Amino acid sequence: MELFLAFIGGLLLGAVLGIILMCLLQINRKK
């Protein structure tokens, strides 16, 4: 169960970081 939760947590963390990076790239392109 702990491994399952850690796996989901990793996916969520990766998704959040990916979204933040995409937002930063969009902001840089607008400038």
pLDDT at residue 15, rounded to an integer: 98
Can you give the residue range of the structural domain that contains 12? 1-31
Hey, what are 20's tokens? 């933040």
User: Residue 31's pLDDT is what?
Assistant: 72
Q: Which amino acid makes up residue 19?
A: I
pLDDT in tens, 1-31: 899 999 999 999 999 999 999 999 999 988 7
In this prediction, residue 27 carries a pLDDT of: 93
Number of independent structural domains in the chain: 1
* Model pLDDT, residue 14: 98
pLDDT computed for residue 30 by the predictor = 82
Q: How far does CA 28 lie from the centroid of its chain?
A: 18
Burial of 1-31, coded b for 16+ CB within 10 Å and e otherwise, reads eeeeeeeeeeeeeeeeeeeeeeeeeeeeeee
